[in-house]
Amino acid sequence: MSQPASGSNAASAIVAGLSVVVDEHLRWLTQWHKAALFPRDNGQTGPDAAPEPSGFATWVTRVKKGSVAHQPAFDRLVQLHDQLHRMGRLTLMRAADGDLPDYGTYNAVLERFEEFIQQCRRIERALSVAGSGIDPLTGLRNRTGLADEVARELARFARTGQPFCVALCDLDKFKSVNDTYGHEAGDRVLVAASGCLTRGIRAIDEAFRMGGEEILILLKETTLAESLLVLDRLRADLAATPVQLADGQVLRVTASFGAAEAVSGLGVDALVDRADQALYAAKHGGRNRVEAWAPLPLP
């Protein structure tokens, strides 16, 4: 996840609040251990023996007022928080009735706690580097500076006539990966795909994560015909790259590409829009293919 550098102050405030949330939940876990495993020795019983930390609700309210509220990472964190405390309260209620948790129940709460803290750390790292222009998951450049980079190439093209192309890459049926295997698997696919693309382009070229599973590739000193050859090689490399999941399963993924070449008088947005139109054609042409932008035929 990423956000523009102009939101750096807001990001700093969110990270500071997140540190409080993590500290509160570490203290909560200690209280929960005592109440769940030694309810009588602890002198308290029931879910109130380990009250839910109050700082999280305040933090979420602050996040929802900011520019990053739409990020799915925050929704996932709220879900994990709700699951954690629902499971924790249920365990304490049973312990209060003399039913101490078995290993499976106890471990389930700890696993959910670990997931919650890991998600907090992911958000913390992402916001900490948001202003750096680097996507923390894939290591690609993010949207920060993208327009400036393309504008520089357009200016160079206007001066020298040196061609260049913009291409958009979109992983095919990526939503089904998240839905079927979970978001961790989706992250692994994104990391593997980004690594494949990075290895396949030259040092002078650039790759940007646009958001989600879409990646923009800036191919410098390249004609449209040359870019199509490069992109088809990248497409084949990606299709041949196995992605190993945490449970040992191996996925094969493909991607569609749309390319457009710079022409005189065309601005940044219009050039990227042409690449997007070509990507649309690749998706609707069967996926796992490369398409070049072409003007619509006259009626």
Edge-to-edge strands of the sheet including 255-261? Answer: 206-211, 214-220, 164-171, 255-261, 290-292
Beta-sheet strands, E only, within 115-267:
164-171, 206-211, 214-220, 242-244, 250-252, 255-261
- At 78, give phi and psi (nearest 5°): -60, -40
Contacts of 19 (CB under 8 A, 6+ apart): 124
The residue among 116, 117, 4, 120 whose CA lies nearest residue 68 is 4
**Sequence-ordered list of residues with C-beta below 8 angstroms from that of 121, at least 6 positions apart, any chain:** 22
- Adjacent-strand bridge partners of 242: 252
Strand partners, 252: 242
Tokens of 205: 């070229």
- Which residues have C-beta within 8 Å of that of residue 84, sequence separation ≥ 6? 109, 112, 113, 116
Q: Are 264 and 161 in contact (CB under 8 A)?
A: no
Taking the C-alpha atoms of residue 151 and residue 131, their distance in angstroms, rounded to an integer, is 20
Which distant-in-sequence residues (6+ apart) come within 8 Å of 214 by Cβ? 168, 169, 170
Active-site entry in 52, 124, 213, 261: 213
Q: For residue 213, which of 275, 269, 169 has the smallest C-alpha distance?
A: 169
Q: Determine whether 184 is an active site residue.
A: no
Q: Which residue numbers are catalytic?
A: 213
